[in-house]
Amino acid sequence: MKRAALWVLALVLTVAAAVWQRLSGPTWPVRGELHLPTGEKVRFRLPRSAEVGKDLKVWLTVAGGPWTGFVRCRRVPSHEDWQLLALSSEGNQLWAFLPEQPPAGKLAYQFMIARQGTMGGGTMVPGEPVVVRFKGHVSTGLLLPHIVAMFLGMMLANRAGLAVIFGEKQARAYVWPTLALLTFGGLVLGPLVQKAAFGAYWTGFPVGQDLTDTKTLAVVLAWGWAAIRSRGDRQWPVLVAAIITVGVFAIPHSLLGSEIDWTRQPQ
């Protein structure tokens, strides 16, 4: 009964970490609503991730009207001026198409809307520009095993840590399966996913600042160290590796991810 409860707890911790990474990361859509000075309510769900291959439709819903305005956008990071895109409308929806970018290219964008016929003024929606990153298509056959391996590796890491905390003798039994799953999912399949999405196999330490790559490397090294150091009754290295894993996967997914630095590109 105790072992079953610890497996359930490990699963809950893993799901919570995965959901937190996704919701807190910079690719999750910006949602919200605000009230205009004229009293109408604006609702929006603005994407921060898009696939290459077509322009990206961005839209918001606002009652009343008729409304007019534009979307302003520019590549980031860059020294470019804002490009203005006129809004189209149908019913309560206003939209525009952002120009497609290459993999790892980013655009900052923001709506400016005003009631049609109004002289000057207008409202920015949302209050700060939203940044969307474009990525290449990653096939399900590659993405699914990557996600499954990483998820199972995280769950086994949590289970190993709980085994140490609750005094189970077989905590070391989880070390090598955890290391194998995280290595396969993160260091074998991970670079293939990265290449398909952003055109490079590795952009983390020591060649770049991508935290997704870097934190994957950190947990693999932690479990490799635990596999070497945990011998006999010495289980504290397993707990250390489990704590490192929890801390690493508390970092939002895709934070400081791959991007094209337009300030360094030829004009």
Could you give the domains of the chain?
A: 2-25+138-263 (no CATH), 36-135 (2.60.40.10)
In 3D space, the residue among 197, 145, 147 whose CA is nearest the CA of residue 15 turns out to be 147
pLDDT, residue 234, reads 83
pLDDT, residue 120, reads 58
User: What are the φ/ψ torsions at residue 255 (nearest 5 degrees)?
Assistant: -65, 135
Q: What is the pLDDT along the chain (267 residues), one digit of tens a residue?
A: 688 999 999 999 999 998 998 888 888 999 998 887 777 889 999 999 999 999 999 999 988 768 889 999 999 999 999 999 999 988 889 999 999 999 999 999 999 998 876 655 678 889 899 999 999 999 999 999 999 999 999 999 999 999 999 988 888 999 999 999 999 999 999 999 999 999 999 988 888 888 889 999 999 999 999 999 987 778 899 999 999 999 998 888 877 788 899 998 665
* CA gap 209, 229 in Å, rounded: 29
The model carries a pTM of 0.86
Q: How many CB atoms lie within 10 A of CB 85?
A: 20
pLDDT, residue 266, reads 63
pLDDT, residue 193, reads 96
* CA gap 194, 212 in Å, rounded: 10
pLDDT, residue 78, reads 94
Total residues found in the chain within this entry:
267
pLDDT, residue 267, reads 56
**111 neighbors 122 (Cβ within 8 angstroms):** no
* CA gap 29, 48 in Å, rounded: 5
